């Protein structure tokens, strides 16, 4: 086992990663990729950190909705506020992934991007995961932190391409993952530039700009990166288009899929997670050439040591 990936067990998944990186970074080799072409893209929720019982941004939005309901109690009787405040998962799941995130985006309309990100950082500093009982920054997957660092050590540029809100992720991605804000792509609302007293602010509007899921992910990769990745990592059917788009390019490529099958150290789920199911991509992974990564079998350690 290499020192670079100590939390990965010595199995097919780790060997696929190490062999791939060696192949594309060996000058003169048949699969060599110049450094500018070494683009790696990662989904966030369920790929880089825990998304159970709900995606972290949804839990953040629940706290925001609670504060709004305290100021205006009538909100507590309106849907979907009522479902969020009562932790009514059946109603929340019925909204679908895009509907849930649209609500999460809408309740922050009218805030500046800077003020929103300050609020995210303050919440991240104090909030704790309801099941794991640790700060959200410690619900990241240790093997993925090691993989991000390993890729960067080998000349890769690492990007996050997620259905989560881009402003939400940019508030912490550099500190938590080492991924700077300009390398984070996500769902977005429309913004408006406003000027007051000679000071300019970008304000968040209620209207959805882009929901970064499924086929929109490759489109946004083309729009914001301008290069087809040579490595992609996801965990749900929402990532299938990004994984297959990556594999479809010329030269040596690698696509990986986290399968959450460890109900002891984390959670076991796939097709039953209504907001972000894993069905077709798991069933057809071998057909597509996607390497499945088992949390139970391929990760010797799931989370960083508790602090």
Tell me: the pLDDT tens digits for 57-70? 999 998 988 888 88
Residue tagged 């507590």 (tokens): 76
Residue 223 pLDDT = 98
Question: In the chain, which stretches have pLDDT less than 50?
Answer: 1-2
Its pTM stands at 0.95
* 177 vs 297: CA distance, rounded Å: 23
Nearest one of 21, 39, 20, 23 to 31, comparing CA atoms: 23
Alpha helices for the chain (secondary structure H): 12-25, 56-71, 81-85, 89-94, 96-106, 113-126, 142-153, 166-170, 173-177, 216-224, 240-247, 280-283, 285-288, 295-298
Residue 1 pLDDT = 39
Contact by Cβ (8 Å): 34, 230: no
Q: Which of the 8 DSSP states describes residue 111? A: S
- Max Cα separation, the chain? 67
Pick the CATH number of 12-53+139-298 from 3.90.1150.10, 3.40.50.1000, 3.40.190.10, 3.20.20.70: 3.40.50.1000
For 112-129, write each residue's pLDDT tens digit. Answer: 999 999 999 999 999 999
Residue 75 pLDDT = 84
Contact by Cβ (8 Å): 5, 154: no
- Residue 284 structure tokens: 């057809």
297 CB contacts (<8 Å, ≥6 apart)?
9, 11, 261
* 213 vs 241: CA distance, rounded Å: 9
250 CB contacts (<8 Å, ≥6 apart)?
none
């Amino acid at each position: 086992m290499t020192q670079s990936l100590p939390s990965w067990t010595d199995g097919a998944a780790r060997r696929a990663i190490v062999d791939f990186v060696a192949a594309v970074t060996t000058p003169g080799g048949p699969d060599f990729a110049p450094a500018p072409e070494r683009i790696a893209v990662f989904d966030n929720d369920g790929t880089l950190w825990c998304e159970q019982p709900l995606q972290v941004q949804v839990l953040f939005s629940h706290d925001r909705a609670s504060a709004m309901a305290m100021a205006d109690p009538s909100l507590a009787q309106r849907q979907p506020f009522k479902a969020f405040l009562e932790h009514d998962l059946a109603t929340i799941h019925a909204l679908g992934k895009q509907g849930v995130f649209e609500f999460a985006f809408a309740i922050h309309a009218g805030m500046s991007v800077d003020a929103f990100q300050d609020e995210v950082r303050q919440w991240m500093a104090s909030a704790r995961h309801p099941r794991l009982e640790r700060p959200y920054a410690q619900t990241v997957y240790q093997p993925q932190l090691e993989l991000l660092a390993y890729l960067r050590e080998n000349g890769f540029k690492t990007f996050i391409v997620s259905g989560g809100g881009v402003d939400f992720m940019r508030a912490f991605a550099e500190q938590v993952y080492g991924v700077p804000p300009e390398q984070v792509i996500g769902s977005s609302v429309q913004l408006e530039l406003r000027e007051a007293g000679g000071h300019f602010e970008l304000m968040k509007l209620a209207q959805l700009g882009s929901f970064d899921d499924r086929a929109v992910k490759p489109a946004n990769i083309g729009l914001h990166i301008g290069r087809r990745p040579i490595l992609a990592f996801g965990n749900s059917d929402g990532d299938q288009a990004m994984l297959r788009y990556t594999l479809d390019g010329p030269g040596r490529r690698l696509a990986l899929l986290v399968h959450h099958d460890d109900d002891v150290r984390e959670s076991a789920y796939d097709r039953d997670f209504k907001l972000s199911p894993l069905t077709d991509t798991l069933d057809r992974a071998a057909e597509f050439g996607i390497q499945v990564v088992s949390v139970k079998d391929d990760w010797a350690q799931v989370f960083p040591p508790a602090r």
